[in-house]
């Protein structure tokens, strides 16, 4: 039976904030993490997204910090994206509402002036993306001398985004004596490496099997021949407004995300959809996520920049318009639905060239994703020549990855042409040689 928050050694101010947030019983990761964090242990937490891991470390951290003290930060929480940093900052503010603890969130994409002023005014907890933290630290505005806590949240995404160098630089400037907490949805080799550098004799906490999607998410796969058929299938699904009432559509690139956004606007109106990706300004991204959270829009189109950091309850569906190339991102994408104890559906569109990644995803999650037939009424387009060529090239590249000796269909065609040309050259040379020989014979006879 799940524990009540009253059973943990938390003070009344924090328990009141937990009650205000509507939480009554702890999730498995909270139940396993709160007591070890309170006792001062280093933690390595593996938990699927949407299981309440932010509260699992924020609540005991607030309990140990207790009240505002001095001007320098005593806790640093690092997150890979500005969206996730903002989400963590919201949780910190929510749970510290009855304390005088001060928190500041810092991230790139906007000028650092206001963030520097907030830090200068006095802060207990800094929530930051690694790049902006280093920028402000190097400008002399952050004192790390009094840090007691260092948290790496979504460590696997940080490694995917190339933050390992920044993390090592941060580890060089924080006190050696501190409590370290690392949380990740998957345990890749890079995460294991940073955990080895970062944690001292950690307590390993697993709220679920590693890289296993939430059991509350129903997954299906559609084999779709080409881009236009994907669009037709998307249109067919979106027609059912009652079932597909709040959904996120994930795309591989900014260009595809913009195309899907334009398509949804043409079919269903501008008031029902927003798009977020790296080229969108900070305020646009914040406003789009807030509109989606508040239920003002039905569809959010996003690249993987937003696959983490969107904590929205009651997302009915996630649609993977493209299969992610970084296979761990699949777990995080579909984790946007079926959050906590809700249920949700994850639908993936897959071309022949994307099956390679689906097989890798199934191996990672140790699950078979059921394939469904394309519904009747969805027009299956013929694949244009250029797209057909592109798919064939991608399949060749994938086969070459698995087998370096594989030459590929394109190589074979090219090779066949080269062989044919060489044979023709040989025949021409032979004919020339024969002609010369015959001429020489005739000349010798005349002599």
Do 5-206 and 217-383+394-402 come out as alike in CATH topology? yes
Q: What DSSP character marks residue 294? A: T
Among the residue ranges 219-233, 249-263, 282-296, the one predicted with the least confidence is 282-296
Question: Topology of 5-206 in CATH?
Answer: Rossmann fold (3.40.50)
Q: How far apart are CA 114 and CA 249, in angstroms?
A: 34
Query: With bands split at pLDDT 50, 70 and 90, how would you rate the model's confidence at 188?
Result: confident
Among the residue ranges 109-113, 231-235, 436-440, the one predicted with the least confidence is 436-440
pLDDT of residue 82: 86
- Is the pLDDT confidence value at 306 over 70? no
In the predicted model, what is the mean pLDDT of residues 260-270?
92
Higher pLDDT pick, 292 / 185: 292
Backbone CA torsion sign across 163, 105, 77, 156: negative
Q: What DSSP character marks residue 311? A: -
Question: Which strand ranges, in their side-by-side order, compose the sheet holding 203-206?
Answer: 103-106, 125-128, 75-78, 149-152, 179-184, 43-46, 203-206
In the predicted model, what is the mean pLDDT of residues 124-132?
95
In the predicted model, what is the mean pLDDT of residues 366-370?
90
Q: Helix (H) and strand (E) counts for the chain?
A: 16, 14
- Is the pLDDT confidence value at 444 over 70? no
- Is the pLDDT confidence value at 103 over 70? yes
Alpha helices in 227-327, H assignment, sequence order: 227-238, 254-268, 282-293
Please, what is the average pLDDT of the chain? 85
Question: Topology of 217-383+394-402 in CATH?
Answer: Rossmann fold (3.40.50)
Q: Are 332 and 185 in contact (CB under 8 A)?
A: yes
Q: How far apart are CA 238 and CA 234, in angstroms?
A: 6
pLDDT of residue 15: 93
- Is the pLDDT confidence value at 21 over 60? yes
Q: What DSSP character marks residue 4? A: B
Query: With bands split at pLDDT 50, 70 and 90, how would you rate the model's confidence at 201?
Result: confident
Question: If you compute the radius of gyration of the chain from its CA atoms, what whole number of angstroms results?
Answer: 28
Question: How would DSSP label each residue in 143-197?
Answer: --TT--EEEE-SHHHHHHTT-HHHHHHHHHHS-SS-EEEEEESS--HHHHHHHHH
Q: How far is CA 133 from CA 318, 326, 408, in A?
A: 32, 26, 47
Query: With bands split at pLDDT 50, 70 and 90, how would you rate the model's confidence at 198?
Result: confident
Is the pTM value of this prediction over 0.85? no
Tokens standing for residue 327: 């296979």
Question: How would DSSP label each residue in 339-371?
Answer: -TT--EEEEEEE-GGGHHHHHHHHHHHT----E
Tens of pLDDT, residue by residue over 79-91, are: 998 888 998 999 9
How much of the chain, in percent, has pLDDT values that exceed 70?
86
Ranges of each domain in the chain: 5-206, 217-383+394-402
Q: How far apart are CA 393 and CA 399, in angstroms?
A: 10
pLDDT of residue 139: 93
pLDDT of residue 58: 95
Q: How far apart are CA 125 and CA 366, in angstroms?
A: 38
Higher pLDDT pick, 356 / 286: 356
């Amino acid at each position: 039976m799940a524990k009540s928050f009253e059973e943990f050694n938390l003070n009344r101010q924090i328990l009141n904030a937990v009650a205000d947030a509507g939480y009554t019983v702890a999730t498995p990761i909270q139940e396993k993490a709160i007591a070890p964090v309170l006792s001062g242990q280093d933690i390595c937490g593996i938990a699927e997204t949407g299981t309440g891991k932010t509260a699992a470390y924020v609540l005991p951290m607030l309990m140990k910090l207790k009240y505002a003290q001095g001007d320098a930060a005593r806790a640093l929480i690092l997150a890979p994206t500005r969206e996730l940093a903002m989400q963590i900052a919201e949780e910190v503010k929510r749970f510290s509402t009855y304390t005088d603890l001060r928190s500041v969130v810092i991230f790139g994409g906007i000028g650092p002036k206001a963030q520097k002023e907030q830090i200068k005014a006095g802060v207990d907890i800094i929530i930051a993306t690694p790049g902006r933290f280093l920028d402000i630290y190097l400008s002399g505005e952050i004192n790390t001398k009094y840090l007691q806590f260092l948290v790496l949240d979504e460590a696997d995404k940080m490694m995917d985004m190339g933050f390992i160098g920044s993390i090592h630089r941060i580890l060089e400037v924080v006190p050696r004596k501190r409590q370290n907490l690392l949380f990740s949805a998957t345990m890749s080799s890079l995460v294991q490496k940073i955990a080895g550098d970062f944690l001292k004799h950690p307590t390993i906490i697993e709220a679920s099997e590693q890289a296993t999607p939430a059991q509350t998410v129903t997954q299906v796969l559609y084999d779709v021949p080409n881009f236009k058929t994907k669009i037709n299938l998307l249109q067919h699904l979106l027609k059912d407004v009652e079932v597909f009432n709040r959904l996120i559509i994930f795309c591989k690139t900014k260009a595809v995300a913009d195309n899907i956004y334009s398509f949804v606007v043409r079919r269903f109106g501008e008031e029902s959809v927003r798009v977020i990706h790296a080229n969108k300004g900070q305020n646009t991204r914040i406003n789009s996520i807030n509109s989606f959270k508040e239920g003002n829009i039905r569809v959010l189109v996003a690249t993987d920049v937003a696959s983490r950091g969107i904590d929205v309850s009651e997302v009915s569906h996630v649609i993977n318009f493209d299969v992610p190339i970084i296979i761990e991102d699949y777990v995080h994408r579909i984790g946007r639905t079926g959050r906590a104890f809700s249920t949700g559906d994850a639908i993936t569109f897959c071309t022949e060239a994307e099956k390679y990644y689906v097989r890798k995803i199934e191996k990672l999650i140790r699950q078979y994703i059921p394939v469904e037939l394309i519904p009747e009424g969805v027009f299956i387009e013929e694949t244009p020549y250029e797209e057909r060529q592109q798919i064939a090239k991608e399949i060749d590249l994938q086969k070459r990855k698995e087998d370096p000796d594989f030459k590929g269909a394109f190589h074979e065609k090219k090779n066949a042409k080269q062989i044919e040309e060489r044979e023709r050259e040989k025949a021409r040379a032979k004919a020339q040689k024969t002609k010369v020989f015959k001429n020489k014979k005739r000349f010798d006879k005349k002599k």
